[in-house]
Amino acid sequence: MHTDVVRQGRLRGDRDGSIEDLLSSMTADREIAEADIEVDIAHLLMLVSCGILTSDHASPLIRELLFYYKNGVPKEAFHPRFEDIHAGIESLLIEKVGMDTGGRMHAGRSRNDEVATCLRIKTREILLDQIEALIDLRTVLVDTASEHVHSIMPGFTHLQHAQPTTLAHYLLAYEEVFSRDNERLYQAFLRTNRSPLGAAAFATTGFPIDRGYTARLLGFESISCNTMDAVASRDFAAESLAAATILMTHISRLCEELVIWSTSFVRFVDLDDRYCSTSSIMPQKKNPDVAEILRSRAGSVLGALVSAVSIEKSLPLSYNRDLQELSPHLFREIIPVSRDIRLVSGMIASAGFHTDRMREEAERGFSTATDLADHLVVNYGLAFRAAHNIVGRAIRSGSLSLEALDDASCQLTGRKLSEQGLSGDELSRVLEVNQSVAARRHPGGPAPAAVLDAVLHRKSVIGKDTAMIQEQKERIMVAKEELMDTAERMVGS
């Protein structure tokens, strides 16, 4: 039977199962077990480099840790008698190589800085994966937009027909939304990528350690400087959850529209069968289940954010055991976000957009009324508010015919627009949806030329973001390779 030698010391007495269950962090620790192996190896290499530990003592430990790294952490390390994975791994090592050797590994550190370091390693890995998934989604949106530059659709405000736009314009709007999410996640990554290792309990240690060395071996950009802050703060977790909450809110909005668009009374999109299900009783049904579940995920992630912030909000410096309760909320909700993003990418890439139906709706609801009001201002010398009033009165009568406009103009100005030169052919041209879209050629607008410029620009931005994230992944990968190569050389493998 394995004994938790890490926790043997001042306190004695058996605990009942409910206390052990409360204190255990094993469920969340499964997410950071591999990171703990890396941290242990880096710490041992540093102890040898600084002359705190001899290679004779470090080599047996590193040899076992390399075996764990290559073959997986032994299931015995997750035994319920251990409060956490850190104690489990250390206890197994002591059992394997003896107390005289295994008991030296923890010199110069505390579980406080060890846990904080593992959490940051795992969180930065998740953030990078989310950013890569977002880049893929943004690419899908831009590529799909480039295929629909001339696909006219209605734009909405208040869920009412507003003005005509294009499907490309709509898709590019979401690409920019997700681009800002990309920025938020990257900023969270940068603040997460700082090493707490060496902070010890909170006041660092009297051993002559080298915090910068372990930070480099573990691929951190820098150290988390103040050691009290390093172990006591989890704002990197809260920030990661906050960025994920905003991101999932945006995904929820997009999925809401896909759900509406896929209804039989809108019929703008046909979602691939992979993302739908049928009814258990109604054979004709095709339900957008994936979009509906993703729509709900924003609430789950928000709940985790609220829990995390609430746990940390009243804690005095420095470390408090309350922080253990934060980790399950963090990992439970941010790990699935990458999956969620990729599912949205798949739905968009495989969707069948009914552009004829979109154009049909774009011509409803007097959607080009603003174009007519603008035309009256530019070509007939009316003040905009007068032109707005005339067009609005005509719409209230149920028509934007020349006769209805004349009646409205007479009521307001005493003169008919037809007497001033407005013709039926001119009116038809002004109210045509293609003309309306083509006129909106300012940067960011729906006109084909503006959209094509936007597509090129967004592709350039995505390219830069891709290069930036690949550089970060490469730097961390190189550091990990150096860590393992250095460890292999020490043990003579």
| Beta bridge mates, 156 | 161
Contact 117, 196 (CB under 8 A): yes
Burial string for 113-136 (b: 16+ CB within 10 Å, else e) reads bbbbbbbbbbbbbbbbbbbbbbbb
Q: How far apart are CA 296 and CA 250, in angstroms?
A: 11
- Residue 304 near residue 241, CB atoms below 8 Å: yes
Let me know: does 240 contact 314? Beta carbons within 8 Å: no
- Non-local CB neighbours of 21 within 8 Å, separated by 6+ positions: none
Catalytic residue among 158, 264, 280, 314: 158
Among 183, 83, 68, 193, residue whose Cα is nearest residue 135: 183
Angle (CA) 469 473 476, round 5°: 140
Catalytic-residue membership of 43? no
Q: Which residue is associated with the tokens 């150096």?
A: 482
Q: Could you tell me which residues come within 8 angstroms of residue 113 by beta carbon, excluding any fewer than 6 positions away?
A: 196, 197, 198, 199, 200, 201, 227, 230, 231
- Is there a contact between 95 and 4 (Cβ–Cβ < 8 Å)? no
Take residue 203 and report the two structure tokens written for it. Answer: 């006041």
CA distance 216 to 236: 19
Tell me if 119 sits within 8 A of 327, measured CB to CB: yes
Catalytic, 57? Answer: no
Of these residues, 277, 279, 460, 493, which one is catalytic?
A: 279
Residues across the chain: 493
Q: Which residues are known to be catalytic?
A: 158, 279
